[in-house]
Amino acid sequence: MNLIPLWLALVAGILALVFVVWKNRWINRQSPGSEKMQALGQAIREGAMAFLIREYSVLAIFVVVVAILLGIVFPGDQRWIVLSFIVGALCSGVAGFIGMRVATASNTRTAHAAGTSLAKGLQVAFSGGTVMGITLRRNHRSSRKRPSWQSPCKSFVDDATQRTSHGVGCTSPIGVITLCSSSRNNLT
């Protein structure tokens, strides 16, 4: 079996995470604005995080129920699907958390930067959006082709040659690294 696509996915995921950390640090170095802007930004962040905690507490119940059902439906060696599903759900949650933190951090920084120049405001805004886009799952043609329970790694290996213009894209970089390492049986 050719493992080059798997290694490419892992390297791409790691590079994407390095890029996310670099962009996040750049955004946090920008001026957050006046005290009033910072207070408003903090209130927005607290509200966004409260929303995520509430959403994740509801989704956790769904993940547990679906994982149990998958464990019943897929016997024996196919139970790796259950682990892939749980790890994927956790990775999705982490990606959402990172994306929300960066998005709320870039809000006031974008507003403050736009007060100095439109170009600077757009640079901060697009940097925040870039981090959100890279951490969250992209919906490319190949991700629509696979069944919802199948590991994105299998999809990546099956059509790696079609993805060169889209990047890895099948899931978040965190998910690529973790799912590819935890769902090796789905690669056969």
- What is the number of other CB atoms lying within 10 angstroms of the CB of residue 135? 27
> In a structure prediction context, what are the per-residue pLDDT tens digits for the chain, which is 188 residues long?
688 888 888 888 888 889 989 999 999 999 999 999 999 999 999 999 999 999 999 999 999 999 999 999 988 888 888 988 898 899 888 888 888 899 899 989 999 999 999 999 999 999 988 887 887 754 333 344 444 444 444 443 333 333 322 333 333 444 434 444 444 444 43
pTM for the model: 0.65
Residue 153 · residue 187 · CB < 8 Å: yes
Q: Of 112, 99, 124, nearest to 26 (Cα)? A: 124
Whole-number pLDDT of residue 29: 95
**H/E element holding 84?**
helix 80-116
Whole-number pLDDT of residue 17: 86
Alpha-carbon separation of residue 24 from 68, 85, 90, 93, 115 (angstroms): 37, 28, 21, 18, 21
Task: Round to whole Å and give the CA distance between 70 and 161.
Answer: 30
Residue 29 · residue 130 · CB < 8 Å: no
Whole-number pLDDT of residue 56: 94
Residue 163 · residue 72 · CB < 8 Å: no
Residue 111, C-beta contacts closer than 8 angstroms, at least 6 positions apart: 33, 37, 121
Q: Of 68, 60, 65, 53, nearest to 89 (Cα)? A: 60
